């Protein structure tokens, strides 16, 4: 029962820390996870996305040199994850972000410690939020609950 | 005798089993499918067997409720045949489904996904009615068997009979609504409930008469009723003919004309003759259902698989029914007194004659009338037993309706009371029966069960719980195999302002800020401060060169050629103008503010 | 069906009711009568109304139910029980016929069903059914038939 | 007691056998073979459309209907009701819409024996020389009888079909007065008859009903994109599905199929049907269809 969501990140060779890249330096999640606010899927950053910033020596931290060398050798698309929703489910990541749902509402804040997955999404939890039964304090507008809003 | 019948059943059943397995594997294209309704043999067989399943409860319960006496063994045979018929009536709608694994979605329970069956559908009513009918028939049969040992239980039979009386009619009414509620022109018929009930009663009677013949005796009352039923059914067929100009000749011959031979005493008195009437009626009614279910000229013909399915049900019925009969004969103490091996045939007949006389000529009635027979309303024994459980049942039905209405699934559905009514009585009946059982268990001191019965009860309960659990949990769906990495480049089409804004926020705002000023936190710490956004600069550079800058990069600005399409870049340039305009509008008051400082 | 034909039909039912359950009549006789009446009602509907009118589909059966209701008043025994049963049958035909028609876009005659249901419940309280009560019941049924 | 145990084991094994019987329909062994089969070529789809067109013979009885208004179901949208109008004066029955629909919605091919019987899966049929598809009735009989609720209505006028919820009782097909519903008798993927031309539309499994979805996926995508890109300042703007077209409407060389929103005055549907007489199949006229035919000027 239920479709539990366990994103399978391929732990690439690139050492990465969410805590260093998040709010502390004024970066939005969508800056790297492009599409998170704009399109149906939230994507992983490509090497080019990393290099936008990392082509300059950014800090004086001792690790930065090894990081830069690893990055230089890395794949064009160093990270990937599996879309765990079934084919017949339409989930538009951007529309949820646009509706004011914060990233941590669904994904928690575990990723700041670089622990991924563990979110449990099933139809019941979708429906509950869409009906306005959960996240009452956030004051989301009730969303569509007819089948064809999310299924095809 | 039973052994030979069982062997006959087995020889029919085994090839039938193959047909069933093939049908399940192959799906609905295995058998003849009607080109318009997509239905076929399994549904005909379902209607046929559910009709036969009326024999037991009809005869036993209704006769009991109406004080028409029927001897115990006939009643028990009838009840047993109901149970066995129900098994086959249940198999066919299940196996005819396209996706059998999803059958649980028909049950009107909430499932873990928050879905709910469409209670407007006659199929949902069907499912509930048949499930409840099977449960209560089992209970009725069990109580009947048990009441021999524990006389205290006997007084529960009549209340149960009164509970089953409407239910048995309800079931077939609902089956008829499967057809009558549709737009298929051949199934036009607000009279279908009566029509189907009449057909069911006739087929039930024919089956019981046939089984009684196998037992080696006869009940004249049932034979007469059977004959009368054929007349009524013929009258209904005539109305069908008047209404639609459609007439099933073969059914009329088999179930309408041939049974009239009963009026010839030579045939009537011969056992083979009696078997012939019953078989002829059964064949006729099967043909009738067959033509009813597949109204348009079939694009395929009645094939081997269809025959196999018929053989499966007939053989299976024989195997199961006579198997149980044999088992009971052997393993139950005093089976004779249940199933009448010790009664002489003549004795039974004489008895029967007497009953009939009493029932129909009103001798008994006149006697009672003379005695000043009168009963206060709502004062009968069965009513007193049934009173409280019925109340619970009605309360449950009302609660169920309210619950159904509150389901969010029906937010976009015009749900009316007519959609829910057919579900109510089965709920009333099942809850009432359950309450009755619980009550009987606690009230009757003499009631205790053998170990085997207790195990049976526990197993049944566990099975029921497992069923409910499965219905609730539902199946799992296959997850997508799609792997997402970085965002692929989109199609190069003109983008709207809104889309450009989204792209800006995702790609540019890290440095340039969502409002076109800098993202202070980021830029101050790490990065060279980007150029200021103002209209004059934008105008002097021109859109084309700005697009080039975005795509190819310049100085500290990164190249986005592989990640943005030229159109997207152009959209960004346009959006930059909007941002610059907004900035210049806001600049004036801000410069004043700075001046104040 | 026109109001006139409708009224006529209940008179036919009334006439037919008197043939049922005569003292000493065999079940064959009663069964044959029932089947015969049904055919008669069907033929009446065919000539009395527009056969394409969906509400006509269960009309003969409603007539038969009315006929049975009317005939129960002359039963010697278990009158109350059969009275209730006959009315339930009528209710049944109206209700489920109505549901079948409802699915094809025709409204259910709720007033008729409600009136019958009320009467069915009320008649369970009837003690000895006097001649006057018989008359009242018959008038009620005919009124339900003609007006609701 | 020994007897009891035996009985118990017997019943247990019976249950297990039943489970196996059910399970073998979708067992791993059978499933693996399925995924390795080749996909059919485009040519076969084109040929099948030609075959279906040559077999089309049913004529259409049309009756006049008023312009569809807002839906009469609870919770219906007052802004959107999507539908189509097919211009019988412009249509020449070329059948391009059928192929376009098949490719857009990944409609599978049928085996030869089904084709010989005229049992195609095409969502668009040719009847009376014009395309004919599900009319998305406002008061849809198919939805009323669907036991699981797999066939249901969206608030904006689509009669949608949820394939995963479908149990294949075929009741909806029986109750559709114009037989617009198609049943997946075959496992098209296993037989190599299905091809996913369009990633946006899932392939259907064996044993489920399907029919014209009015290109539901296009509307869904448009709605979601619209809502995502809605600027905060202009929140009052509502989605009207402007700019969406169904595959058949897109493909029609004569522009005889017009898709739009019956409740939106700016919609091409409203503008082009303004002076036309609208018709619907006589069986559907009372069921408030959203897809209608137009012929002649008023």
Does residue C105 sit in helix, strand or coil? coil
Looking at per-residue pLDDT, the higher value among B243 and A2 belongs to: B243
pLDDT, tens only, A135-145: 888 888 888 88
Quick one: residue D178, left, alpha or beta (phi over 0 = left, psi -120 to 50 = alpha)?
alpha
C105·D139 Cβ contact <8 A: yes
What is the predicted pLDDT for the residue at C65?
A: 94
Quick one: residue D24, left, alpha or beta (phi over 0 = left, psi -120 to 50 = alpha)?
alpha
Q: What is the pLDDT averaged over residues B222-238?
A: 91
What is the predicted pLDDT for the residue at A9?
A: 46
What is the predicted pLDDT for the residue at B531?
A: 75
Q: Please tell me the total count of domains within chain D.
A: 1
Confidence of residue B342 (pLDDT cuts 50, 70, 90): very low
Q: Are residues B379 and B415 in the same domain?
A: yes
**CATH at B454:** 1.20.1630.10
Quick one: residue C99, left, alpha or beta (phi over 0 = left, psi -120 to 50 = alpha)?
alpha
Q: Please tell me the total count of domains within chain B.
A: 2
Looking at per-residue pLDDT, the higher value among B555 and C9 belongs to: C9
pLDDT winner (highest mean) among B239-253, C20-34, C121-135, D250-264: D250-264
What is the predicted pLDDT for the residue at B378?
A: 67
Measured N-to-C along each axis, helices B192-215 and B220-244 cross at an angle, to the nearest 10 degrees, of 150
A148·D224 Cβ contact <8 A: no
Query: Is D11 inside a domain boundary?
Result: no
What is the predicted pLDDT for the residue at B43?
A: 93
Cα–Cα distance measured from residue A24 to residue A11, given in angstroms and rounded to the nearest whole number:
23
pLDDT, tens only, B519-553: 777 776 666 777 777 888 888 888 888 888 888 88
Look at residue C109 and tell me whether its pLDDT is greater than 70. Answer: yes
Chains in contact with A, counting 3 or more C-beta pairs less than 8 Å apart as contact: B, D
Chains D and C contact (Cβ–Cβ under 8 Å for 3 or more pairs): yes
Min Cα distance A46 → chain B (Å) is 5
Q: Please tell me the total count of domains within chain A.
A: 1
Contact criterion met (CB below 8 Å) for A124 and B114: yes
Contact criterion met (CB below 8 Å) for B231 and B262: no
**CATH at D225:** 3.30.70.20
What is the predicted pLDDT for the residue at D1?
A: 37
Cα–Cα distance measured from residue B472 to residue B14, given in angstroms and rounded to the nearest whole number:
35
Low-confidence ranges of chain D (pLDDT < 70): 1-37, 231-236
pLDDT, tens only, A50-74: 888 887 766 667 677 778 788 888 8
D chain contacts of residue A97, beta-carbon cutoff 8 Å: 228
What is the predicted pLDDT for the residue at B173?
A: 93
Confidence of residue B219 (pLDDT cuts 50, 70, 90): confident
Query: Is B241 inside a domain boundary?
Result: yes
Confidence of residue B430 (pLDDT cuts 50, 70, 90): very high
Query: Is D234 inside a domain boundary?
Result: yes
Min Cα distance B330 → chain C (Å) is 39
Q: Are residues B259 and B292 in the same domain?
A: yes
What is the predicted pLDDT for the residue at C89?
A: 93
Min Cα distance D257 → chain C (Å) is 30
Cα–Cα distance measured from residue D82 to residue D262, given in angstroms and rounded to the nearest whole number:
6
Q: Are residues B194 and B80 in the same domain?
A: yes
Cα–Cα distance measured from residue B96 to residue B502, given in angstroms and rounded to the nearest whole number:
51
D154 touches chain A (CB under 8 A): yes
What is the predicted pLDDT for the residue at C68?
A: 92
Q: What b-and-e string marks burial along B171-197, b requiring 16 or more CB atoms within 10 Å of the CB? A: bbbbbbbbbbbbbbebbbbbbbbbbbb
Query: Is A1 inside a domain boundary?
Result: no
Does residue B484 sit in helix, strand or coil? strand
Smallest Cα–Cα separation from D280: which of D270, D293, D290? D293
Location of structure tokens 């197993």: B459
C107 touches chain D (CB under 8 A): no
Cα–Cα distance measured from residue B587 to residue B532, given in angstroms and rounded to the nearest whole number:
12
Smallest Cα–Cα separation from B80: which of B208, B168, B218? B208
Residue C12 exposure: Cα atoms within 13 Å on the Cβ side: 23
Cα–Cα distance measured from residue B495 to residue B547, given in angstroms and rounded to the nearest whole number:
14
Taking one residue from B and the other from D, the number of pairs with CB-CB distance under 8 angstroms is: 161
B chain contacts of residue C20, beta-carbon cutoff 8 Å: none
Q: For A152, which of D202, D228, D229 is closest by C-beta distance?
A: D202
How high is the mean pLDDT of chain B?
A: 83
What is the predicted pLDDT for the residue at B588?
A: 59
Taking one residue from C and the other from D, the number of pairs with CB-CB distance under 8 angstroms is: 5
Q: Which of B461-465, B487-491, C86-90 has the lowest mean pLDDT?
A: B487-491
Structure tokens at B200: 């069911």
Q: How far is CA B471 from CA A143, D19, D166, in A?
A: 27, 15, 15
Q: How far is CA C82 from CA B225, B369, B488, B554, C36, in A?
A: 18, 16, 78, 98, 21
B484 touches chain A (CB under 8 A): yes
Q: For D149, which of B36, B100, B116 is closest by C-beta distance?
A: B116
A97 touches chain D (CB under 8 A): yes
Cα–Cα distance measured from residue B211 to residue B217, given in angstroms and rounded to the nearest whole number:
9
Q: How much of chain B, in percent, has pLDDT values that exceed 70?
A: 88
Give the residue numbers spanning the domain of D260. 31-137+189-204+214-297
Phi then psi for B182, rounded to 5 degrees? -100, 175
Query: Is A11 inside a domain boundary?
Result: no
What is the predicted pLDDT for the residue at B593?
A: 41
Does residue D152 sit in helix, strand or coil? strand
D196 touches chain A (CB under 8 A): no
Min Cα distance B230 → chain D (Å) is 30
Angle at B332 between CA B327 and CA B334, to 5 degrees: 130
Smallest Cα–Cα separation from D154: which of D239, D90, D234? D239
Pairing of strands D82-87, D257-261: antiparallel
Contact criterion met (CB below 8 Å) for B259 and B227: yes
- Eight-class DSSP state of C20: T
Confidence of residue B76 (pLDDT cuts 50, 70, 90): confident
Q: What is the pLDDT averaged over residues A76-87?
A: 83
Looking at the DSSP bridge assignments, the partners of residue D64 are: D279
What is the predicted pLDDT for the residue at B587?
A: 66
Total residues found in chain B within this entry: 597
Confidence of residue A1 (pLDDT cuts 50, 70, 90): very low
Query: Is A3 inside a domain boundary?
Result: no
What is the predicted pLDDT for the residue at C53?
A: 87
Name the strands in the sheet holding D82-87, side by side, starting at the edge strand that comes first in the sequence: D62-64, D276-281, D291-297, D82-87, D257-261
Chains in contact with D, counting 3 or more C-beta pairs less than 8 Å apart as contact: A, B, C
Structure tokens at B442: 């606690």
A chain contacts of residue B479, beta-carbon cutoff 8 Å: 3, 82, 84-86
Structure tokens at A139: 């004051």
Does residue B389 sit in helix, strand or coil? helix
**CATH at B526:** 1.10.760.10
pLDDT winner (highest mean) among B408-412, C120-124, D170-174, D294-298: D170-174
What is the predicted pLDDT for the residue at B152?
A: 80
What is the predicted pLDDT for the residue at B395?
A: 96
How high is the mean pLDDT of chain C?
A: 88
Chains in contact with B, counting 3 or more C-beta pairs less than 8 Å apart as contact: A, C, D
Q: For D175, which of B96, B117, B183 is closest by C-beta distance?
A: B183
pLDDT, tens only, B250-306: 889 998 889 888 888 888 888 888 899 999 999 999 999 988 888 775 555 778 899
Q: What is the pLDDT averaged over residues C85-106?
A: 93
Q: What is the pLDDT averaged over residues B113-135?
A: 91
Confidence of residue B374 (pLDDT cuts 50, 70, 90): low
Q: For B378, which of C95, C98, C124 is closest by C-beta distance?
A: C124
C31·B234 Cβ contact <8 A: no
Query: Is D199 inside a domain boundary?
Result: yes
Q: Are residues B381 and B443 in the same domain?
A: yes
B chain contacts of residue D171, beta-carbon cutoff 8 Å: 121-123, 178, 182
Statement: the pTM of the whole predicted model exceeds 0.90: no
Query: Is A141 inside a domain boundary?
Result: yes
Cα–Cα distance measured from residue B180 to residue B193, given in angstroms and rounded to the nearest whole number:
8
Q: Are residues B288 and B437 in the same domain?
A: yes
Query: Is A23 inside a domain boundary?
Result: yes
C52 touches chain D (CB under 8 A): no
Report the residue of chain B nearest A90, measured CA to CA. B480
Looking at per-residue pLDDT, the higher value among B431 and B453 belongs to: B431
B480·A25 Cβ contact <8 A: no
Q: Are residues B540 and B580 in the same domain?
A: yes
Q: How much of chain A, in percent, has pLDDT values that exceed 90?
A: 3
pLDDT winner (highest mean) among B58-67, B360-369, D32-41, D123-132: D123-132
What is the predicted pLDDT for the residue at D119?
A: 86
Looking at per-residue pLDDT, the higher value among B299 and B82 belongs to: B82
Within 10 A of B357 (CB to CB), how many other CB atoms are there? 12
Q: How far is CA B378 from CA B437, C81, D275, in A?
A: 21, 11, 68
Q: How much of chain A, in percent, has pLDDT values that exceed 70?
A: 88
Cα–Cα distance measured from residue A109 to residue A116, given in angstroms and rounded to the nearest whole number:
10
Give the residue numbers spanning the domain of B169. 32-302+375-473
What is the predicted pLDDT for the residue at A8?
A: 44
Q: For D145, which of B27, B122, B455 is closest by C-beta distance?
A: B122
B369·C77 Cβ contact <8 A: yes
Residue A144 exposure: Cα atoms within 13 Å on the Cβ side: 20
Measured N-to-C along each axis, helices B381-405 and B417-443 cross at an angle, to the nearest 10 degrees, of 140
Contact criterion met (CB below 8 Å) for B495 and B574: no
Q: Are residues B160 and B280 in the same domain?
A: yes
Does residue A77 sit in helix, strand or coil? coil
Cα–Cα distance measured from residue D248 to residue D257, given in angstroms and rounded to the nearest whole number:
7
Give the residue numbers spanning the domain of A42. 18-150
Interface of D with B in 4-23 (CB under 8 A): 4, 8, 11, 21-22
What is the predicted pLDDT for the residue at D270?
A: 94
Pairing of strands D209-210, D182-183: antiparallel
C105·D286 Cβ contact <8 A: yes
Q: Are residues B525 and B419 in the same domain?
A: no
Sign of CA dihedral D57, D63, D67, D71: negative
Structure tokens at B223: 């034979």
Min Cα distance C58 → chain D (Å) is 21
What is the predicted pLDDT for the residue at B340?
A: 46
Structure tokens at B43: 């549904």
B chain contacts of residue C34, beta-carbon cutoff 8 Å: 228, 231-232, 235
């Amino acid at each position: 029962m239920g479709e539990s969501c366990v994103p399978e990140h391929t732990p690439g060779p690139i050492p990465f820390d969410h805590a260093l890249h998040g709010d502390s330096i004024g970066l939005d999640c969508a800056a790297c996870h492009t599409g998170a606010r704009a399109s149906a899927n939230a994507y992983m950053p490509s090497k080019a996305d990393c290099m936008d910033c990392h082509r300059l020596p950014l800090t004086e931290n001792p690790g930065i040199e090894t990081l830069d060398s690893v990055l230089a050798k890395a794949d064009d698309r160093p990270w990937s994850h599996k879309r765990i929703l079934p084919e017949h489910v339409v989930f538009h990541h951007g529309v949820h972000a646009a509706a004011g749902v914060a990233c941590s509402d669904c994904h928690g804040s575990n990723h700041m410690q670089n622990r991924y997955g563990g979110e449990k999404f099933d139809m019941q939890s979708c429906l509950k939020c869409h009906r306005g039964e959960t996240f009452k304090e956030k004051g989301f507008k009730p969303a569509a609950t007819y089948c064809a809003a999310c299924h095809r | 005798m039973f052994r030979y019948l069982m062997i006959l059943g087995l020889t029919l059943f085994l090839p039938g089993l193959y047909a069933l397995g093939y049908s399940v594997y192959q799906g609905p294209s295995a058998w003849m499918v009607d080109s318009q309704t997509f239905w076929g043999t399994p549904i005909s067989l379902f209607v046929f067997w559910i009709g036969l399943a009326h024999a037991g409860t009809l005869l036993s319960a209704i006769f009991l409720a109406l004080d028409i006496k029927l001897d115990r063994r006939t009643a028990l045979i009838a009840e047993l045949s109901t149970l066995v018929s129900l098994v086959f009536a249940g198999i066919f709608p299940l196996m005819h489904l396209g996706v059998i694994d999803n059958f649980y979605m028909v049950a009107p329970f909430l499932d873990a996904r928050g879905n709910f069956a469409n209670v407007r559908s006659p199929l949902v009513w069907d499912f509930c009615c048949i499930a409840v009918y099977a449960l209560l028939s089992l209970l009725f049969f069990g109580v009947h068997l048990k009441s021999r040992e524990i006389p205290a239980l006997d007084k529960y039979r009549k209340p149960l009979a009164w509970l089953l009386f409407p239910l048995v009619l309800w079931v077939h009414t609902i089956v008829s609504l499967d057809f009558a509620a549709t737009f298929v022109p051949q199934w036009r018929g607000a009279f279908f409930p009566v029509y189907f009930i009449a057909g069911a009663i006739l087929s039930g009677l024919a089956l019981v008469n046939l089984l009684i013949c196998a037992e080696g005796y006869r009940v004249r009352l049932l034979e007469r009723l059977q004959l009368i039923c054929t007349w009524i059914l013929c009258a209904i067929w005539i109305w069908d003919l008047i209404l639609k100009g459609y007439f099933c000749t073969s059914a009329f011959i088999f179930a309408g004309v041939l049974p009239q031979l009963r009026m010839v005493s030579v045939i009537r008195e011969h056992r083979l003759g009696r078997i012939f009437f019953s078989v002829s009626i059964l064949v006729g009614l099967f043909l009738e259902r067959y033509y009813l279910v597949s109204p348009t000229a079939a694009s395929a013909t009645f094939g081997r698989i269809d025959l196999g399915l018929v053989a499966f049900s007939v053989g299976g019925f024989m195997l199961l029914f006579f198997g149980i009969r044999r088992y009971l004969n052997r393993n139950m103490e005093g089976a004779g007194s249940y199933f009448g091996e010790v009664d002489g045939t003549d004795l039974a007949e004489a008895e029967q004659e007497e009953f009939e006389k009493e029932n129909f000529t009103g001798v008994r009635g006149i006697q009672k009338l003379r005695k000043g027979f009168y009963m206060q309303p709502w004062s009968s024994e069965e009513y007193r037993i049934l009173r409280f459980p019925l109340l619970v049942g009605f309360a449950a039905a009302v609660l169920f309706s309210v619950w159904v209405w509150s389901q969010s699934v029906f937010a976009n559905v015009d749900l009316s009371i007519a959609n829910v009514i057919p579900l109510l009585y089965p709920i009333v009946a099942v809850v009432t029966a359950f309450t009755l059982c619980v009550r009987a268990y606690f009230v009757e001191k003499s009631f205790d069960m053998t170990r085997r019965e207790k195990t049976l009860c526990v197993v049944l309960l566990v099975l029921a719980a497992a069923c409910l659990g499965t219905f609730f949990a539902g199946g799992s769906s296959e997850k997508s195999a799609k792997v997402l990495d970085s965002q692929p480049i989109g199609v190069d089409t003109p983008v709207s302002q809104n889309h450009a804004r989204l792209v800006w926020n995702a790609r540019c705002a890290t440095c340039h800020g969502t409002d076109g000023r800098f993202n202070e936190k980021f830029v101050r710490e790490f990065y060279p401060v980007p150029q200021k956004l103002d209209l004059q600069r934008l105008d002097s550079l021109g859109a084309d060169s700005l697009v080039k800058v975005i795509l190819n990069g310049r100085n500290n600005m990164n190249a986005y050629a592989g990640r943005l399409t030229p159109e997207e870049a152009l959209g960004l340039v346009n959006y930059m103008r909007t941002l610059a305009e907004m900035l210049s509008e806001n600049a004036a008051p801000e410069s004043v503010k700075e001046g104040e400082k | 069906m026109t109001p006139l034909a409708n009224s006529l039909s209940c008179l036919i039912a009334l006439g037919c009711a008197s043939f049922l359950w005569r003292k000493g009549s065999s079940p064959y006789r009663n069964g044959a009568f029932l089947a015969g009446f049904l055919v008669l009602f069907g033929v009446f509907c065919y000539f009395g109304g527009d056969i394409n009118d969906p509400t006509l589909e269960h009309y003969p059966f409603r007539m038969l139910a009315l006929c049975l209701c009317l005939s129960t008043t002359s039963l010697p025994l278990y009158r109350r029980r059969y009275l209730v049963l006959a009315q339930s049958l009528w209710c049944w035909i109206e209700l489920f016929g109505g549901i079948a028609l409802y699915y094809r876009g025709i409204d259910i005659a709720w007033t008729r069903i409600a009136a019958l249901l009320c009467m069915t419940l009320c008649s369970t309280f009837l003690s000895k059914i006097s001649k006057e009560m018989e008359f009242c019941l018959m008038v009620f049924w005919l009124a339900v038939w003609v007006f609701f | 007691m020994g007897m009891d145990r035996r009985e118990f084991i017997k019943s247990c094994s019976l249950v297990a056998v039943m489970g196996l019987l059910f399970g073998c329909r979708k067992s791993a062994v059978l499933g693996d073979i399925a995924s390795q089969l080749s996909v059919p070529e485009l040519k076969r789809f084109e040929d099948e459309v030609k075959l279906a067109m040559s077999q089309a013979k049913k004529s259409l009885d049309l009756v006049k209907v008023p312009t569809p208004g807002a839906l009469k179901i609870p919770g219906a949208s007052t802004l959107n009701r999507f539908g189509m109008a097919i211009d019988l004066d412009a249509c020449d029955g070329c059948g391009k819409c059928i192929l376009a629909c098949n490719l857009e919605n990944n409609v599978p091919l049928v085996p030869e024996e089904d084709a010989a019987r005229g049992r195609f899966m095409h969502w668009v049929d040719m009847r009376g020389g014009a395309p004919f598809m599900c009319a998305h009735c406002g008061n849809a009989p198919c939805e009323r009888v669907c036991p699981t609720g797999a066939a249901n209505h969206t608030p904006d006028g689509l009669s949608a079909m949820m394939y995963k919820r479908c149990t294949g009782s075929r009741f909806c097909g029986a109750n559709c007065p114009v037989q617009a519903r198609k049943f997946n008798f075959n496992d098209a993927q296993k037989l190599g008859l299905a091809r996913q031309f369009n990633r946006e539309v899932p392939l259907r499994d064996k044993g489920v009903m399907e029919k014209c979805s009015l290109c539901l996926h296009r509307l869904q995508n448009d709605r979601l994109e619209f809502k995502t890109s809605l600027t905060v300042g202009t929140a009052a703007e509502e989605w009207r599905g402007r700019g969406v077209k169904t595959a058949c409407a897109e493909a029609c060389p004569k522009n005889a199929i017009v898709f739009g929103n019956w409740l939106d005055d700016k919609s091409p549907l409203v503008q082009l049907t303004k002076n036309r007489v609208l018709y619907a199949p006589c069986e559907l006229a009372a069921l408030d269809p959203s897809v209608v035919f137009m012929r002649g000027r008023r």
